[in-house]
Chain A
Amino acid sequence: NAGVTQTPKFHILKIGQSMTLQCTQDMNHNYMYWYRQDPGMGLKLIYYSVGAGITDKGEVPNGYNVSRSTTEDFPLRLELAAPSQTSVYFCASSYSKSGNTIYFGEGSWLTVV
């Protein structure tokens, strides 16, 4: 019962560095999402994908990029990391959007110093 798996769980990044958060799901879900969660704030959508080869911006896409080459994988790329990107990142998936449960990965705690 793997569900949604994301790595790494914790990472410290220096300002200006780049990195990729990996996300994979084994539920054959079409929809995948990346959210960030800051203290006292709700989850904010960074990017989402409705299927392989299709991605779209969410509410807070600046400073990030994604790709969806397969149904299973949806990596999030941070380019030129900034302190404002210090956050907890959650990858999630769902079979479709409306009325369907979103399943989350365990989260990636990222600190930019």
Chain B
Amino acid sequence: RKEVEQDPGPFNVPEGATVAFNCTYSNSASQSFFWYRQDCRKEPKLLMSVYSSGNEDGRFTAQLNRASQYISLLIRDSKLSDSATYLCVVYSADGNQFYFGTGTSLTVIP
């Protein structure tokens, strides 16, 4: 079983739409959670960390459900510039490393 699983998509949504991505992780001892954004042929960059209480950064909202071991990312009022692959990342101390999902592809259509 993979450490981190994401729906690969692709998600094709019109501008202005709201879109949500989910991610599940297998290790209940996982400690830290992140969403990274990766543009085509570029390196991953931190979008936001995910906190237990949920957190928001502008149009982006991240949620963590430890009981069900999933993380979500909500993007409101999608922009063309949001088109990218979104990576779910989990840090587990017992494995002592970061685990990356395969990414969810988003294309925002004019």
Most buried by B among A40, A42, A97: A42
Residue from B4, B46, B100 within 8 A of A101 (CB atoms): B46
In Å, the complex CA distance between A107 and B43 comes to 6
Interchain CB contact under 8 A, A43 and B46: no
Contact call A41/B102, Cβ cutoff below 8 A = yes
Contact A43 B8 (CB under 8 A): no
Q: When the two chains form the complex, which single residue of A58, A105, A106 contacts B97, counting CB atoms closer than 8 Å?
A: A58
Please report which residues of chain B, range 72-110, place their CB below 8 angstroms from some CB of chain A when the two chains form the complex.
Answer: 87, 89, 91, 93, 96-103
A20-36 contact mask (Cβ, 8 Å, vs B): 1 or 0: 00000000000000010
Contacts of B4 in A (CB 8 A): 42
Secondary structure call for the B interface: strand
Closest to A106 in B: B43
Cβ of A48 within 8 Å of any chain B Cβ, yes or no, is yes
CA distance A97 to B91 in the complex (A): 8
**8 Å CB contacts to B: which residues of A34-62?**
35, 40-43, 45, 48, 58-59
Interface size for B (C-beta < 8 A) is 25
Bound-complex Cα distance A102 to B49 (A): 11
Query: Is the pair A43, B91 in contact by a Cβ cutoff of 8 Å?
Result: no
Does B1 sit within 8 A of A, measured CB to CB?
no
Check if B91 sits within 8 Å of A107, measured CB to CB: no
Residue in A41, A98, A106 whose CB lies within 8 Å of B91: A98
Considering the complex, give the chain A residue whose CB is closest to the CB of B91.
A98
Instruction: Report the bound CA distance from A108 to B89 in whole Å.
Output: 21
Q: A42 near B102 (CB under 8 angstroms)?
A: yes
Q: Which residues of chain A have a CB within 8 Å of any CB of chain B?
A: 35, 40-43, 45, 48, 58-59, 90, 97-99, 101-102, 104-107
A41-B102, A43-B44, A102-B46 given; 4 more Cβ-contact pairs under 8 Å: A43-B87, A98-B32, A99-B31, A104-B44
Q: Report, nearest first, the 9 A-B pairs whose CB atoms are least far apart.
A: A104-B43, A42-B100, A43-B100, A99-B32, A42-B102, A101-B46, A106-B43, A107-B43, A104-B44
